[in-house]
Amino acid sequence: MVRRKTMGFDELALVSPRDKKVCSREKVIQRASGAVEVLRNAKIYSSLDQALDGTNVICGTGMPNDMYRKRAERKYHNPRDYFELLLEGNTAAMDYFGVSCERAVNVRLALIFGSERTGMEESEMDQCHVMLGIPTNPEFGSLNLAAAVQLIAYDWRVALGGSASYGP
């Protein structure tokens, strides 16, 4: 939760979590360290369709090479490259990604992360405009969920004009 807050995100939507009271659990609150309002304002939905209502750019996340199961062929894009093109409103690039330029004008972005153990389901990926994949070692591309959220949130923040570093 802190990573989300650190990168400027303050909305959290959970879809059918195993523990419906996850946001009020003491262990989760302690780990939120200063971002308790994100937990307090989190919304829980029974379906992905409900959670996506009101968004206009839907980005799924995942590993291009799943180590545990066969996946359908999909094209995965580098998050930073995609975000920069999205915000530039580059017509040719957006056609390539399947996102219209009118969406890029007033972006209401949804970043979808699957479960820590299994990632996103094929049906969830089908609802996405684009799949984002963090460039990792092709022999072992697994990241834990917190690391993946942090990296993609950072790329979005940089694309929005947030500082890439504090150096000169």
Beta-sheet strands, E only, within 16-81: 43-45, 57-61, 76-77
Predicted pLDDT at 127? 93
pTM of the model: 0.81
pLDDT given for residue 88 in this prediction: 79
Best CA proximity match to 41, nearest among 17, 19, 23, 21: 23
Q: How confident is the model at residue 90 (pLDDT cuts 50, 70, 90)?
A: low
